[in-house]
Structure 1
Amino acid sequence: MSFWENFWNIFWWFLCVYAFIAFLYALFVVIGDIFRDQELNGWLKAVWLVLLAFLPFLSVLVYLIARGKGMTERTMERGRHNQEASDAYIRQVATASPTEEISKAKALLDAGTISPDEFEKIKSTVMV
């Protein structure tokens, strides 16, 4: 009998901790969205933060219901922007200029590593 009481007490404790961590996560996501939102002016941001300070659970629910779609759009736009910036950086760093590629191919041709046909093939793909 004592084992089951302890088991359910432990289960209840884990459930409460899980709910508290989920609430904190939602709270910090909402606070981050408030500061990232360019459409809200400073006064509205201050009002939301005061509401979150004094009525946190209710304010998080209201914010998610009222502005949840906008949160999703802002998050997707930010992710898209970050992906484009990352792709641009990788292209800038990873790819060599056409002249560098041709000079590398020429060095391989001079060393006898590739044939003249392969050199022309590389040259034609780089020039496209």
Structure 2
Amino acid sequence: MSSYPLLNLFWTMLWFFLWILWFMLLFRVIADIFRDDDLNGWGKAGWTIFVCILPFLGIFVYLVARGRGMGERAQERAQRQEQAFRSYVQDAAREQPQDRGAGRVGELERLADLRKSGDLTEDEYQQAKSKLLAV
């Protein structure tokens, strides 16, 4: 038989996970304090000191006093990140390699037209064409 009963193992695991949960909550509250644009420097300093000196009481008071705003700020931040991601994807989709290739074809056609009309010499055409194809 084991000298460490199963119930003790259960309680140890429970306390361990509660400890991890506590640190996650502590870091989330501290991050929210510093991300909040409505708090001035003294407010941020006061909440940070309160949370660090009396962590249990500070966290619970912060969650009661500013918990709703904490969720709203997290939701706004997630929406801004989603919008930034969407605009990045849209910008990247506009600049597909096919589009650049189509732009090169258009430029080559324009150069060929300039050569046919006599505005470019054969040497100028070859130089411009090599520059365009090198890009």
TM-score (norm 1): 0.71
Looking at structure 2, the residues matched to 69 and 53 of structure 1 have their Cα atoms a distance apart, in angstroms, of 21
SS at match of 2:24: helix
Letter of the 1:82 counterpart:
Q
> 1:26 Cα shift?
0.5
Looking at structure 2, the residues matched to 13 and 96 of structure 1 have their Cα atoms a distance apart, in angstroms, of 56
| Largest Rg, 1 or 2 | 2
Looking at structure 1, the residues matched to 73 and 50 of structure 2 have their Cα atoms a distance apart, in angstroms, of 22
Report the counterpart of residue 58 of structure 2 in structure 1. Answer: 59
TM-score (norm 2): 0.68
Report the counterpart of residue 118 of structure 1 in structure 2. Answer: none
Looking at structure 2, the residues matched to 18 and 30 of structure 1 have their Cα atoms a distance apart, in angstroms, of 18
Q: Any residues of structure 2 matched to 1:66-85 within 5 Å, and which? A: 66-85=65-84
Report the counterpart of residue 33 of structure 2 in structure 1. Answer: 34
For this pair of structures, how many residues does the alignment match? 103
Letter of the 2:7 counterpart:
W
- Say which structure, 1 or 2, has more relative contact order (CA 8 Å, 6+ apart): 1
Structure 1's consecutive aligned runs of 4 or more residues displaced over 3 angstroms after TM superposition are 2-5
Q: Any residues of structure 2 matched to 1:42-57 within 5 Å, and which? A: 42-57=41-56
Q: Where do 5+ consecutive residues of structure 2 fail to align?
A: 106-135
Report the counterpart of residue 124 of structure 2 in structure 1. Answer: none
Q: Where do 5+ consecutive residues of structure 1 fail to align?
A: 107-128
